[in-house]
Amino acid sequence: MRVLGIDCGGEYTGYGVVDGDGRTLTCIITGAIRLSPKVALEIRLKQVYDALSALILEFQPEVVAIEDVFYSVNAKSALKLGHVRGVAMMSAAQQGLSVVAYAPLAIKSAVVGYGRAEKSQVQVMVARLLHLDELPQPADAADALAIAICHIHTAATLLRQAATSK
């Protein structure tokens, strides 16, 4: 299974493509789309859309995994994040891909084993699980890889459960 994980953000939108079968995981590409706060919001959203659409075309993921909506104290930040998240979902939908969302606690639990893990712990475990020589940078890229890993593990578990219930 090939998964594109996306960590939506207002300044950086992380991405990571991971191949995996539930046992072995391979990082295909990771990085982040840097968005300048000096650029108009609609231009930043277009940058995210264009970059994610190009990644989908080049790496042909089977599914896109993103972080679920969470509650924020700052309504303005939450709204901007929602815009980026909507654009990420639209870029997947335009290519006919399903989008699955995972709660932050579920992602951290799947990767670190603890739902309240720190960003640095996520980076270390992602690097370990994917056998990377260096920690994924920026942290948003590591988070995107963690989201993809979470989906691969979840899908593998669901397949095993379906096989045993037959």
* pLDDT averaged over every residue in the chain: 93
Unique residue bearing structure tokens 């709660």: 103
Per-residue confidence band for 157, with pLDDT thresholds at 50, 70 and 90: confident
Residue 23 DSSP label: S
Q: Which of 19, 42, 58, 67 is catalytic?
A: 67
Question: Given this model, what pLDDT does residue 158 score?
Answer: 79
Is 143 a catalytic site residue?
no
Rounded Cα distance between 151 and 165, Å, is 21
Tokens of 53: 């659409």
34-50 per-residue burial string, b: 16 or more CB within 10 A, e: under 16: ebeeeeeeeebbebbbe
> What integer is the mean pLDDT of 63-79?
83
3 state SS of 19:
strand
Question: Given this model, what pLDDT does residue 43 score?
Answer: 96
The 10s digit of each residue's pLDDT in 72-123 is: 667 888 888 899 999 999 999 999 999 999 999 999 999 999 988 999 999 9
Is 21 a catalytic site residue?
no
- Share of residues in the chain with pLDDT > 90 (%): 80
CATH number, domain 2-164:
3.30.420.10
Lowest-confidence region among 13-22, 131-140, 151-160: 151-160
Question: Given this model, what pLDDT does residue 33 score?
Answer: 98
> Residue 145: pLDDT above 90?
yes
Question: Given this model, what pLDDT does residue 163 score?
Answer: 76
DSSP lists the bridge partners of residue 67 as 102
Question: Given this model, what pLDDT does residue 71 score?
Answer: 63
For the beta sheet containing 2-7, the strands, ordered from the edge strand earlier in sequence to the opposite edge, are: 25-34, 12-20, 2-7, 63-67, 98-102
Is 58 a catalytic site residue?
no
Q: Which of 42, 58, 62, 140 is catalytic?
A: 140
Q: Which of 7, 21, 50, 133 is catalytic?
A: 7
> Residue 137: pLDDT above 90?
yes
> Residue 23: pLDDT above 90?
no
- Share of residues in the chain with pLDDT > 70 (%): 97
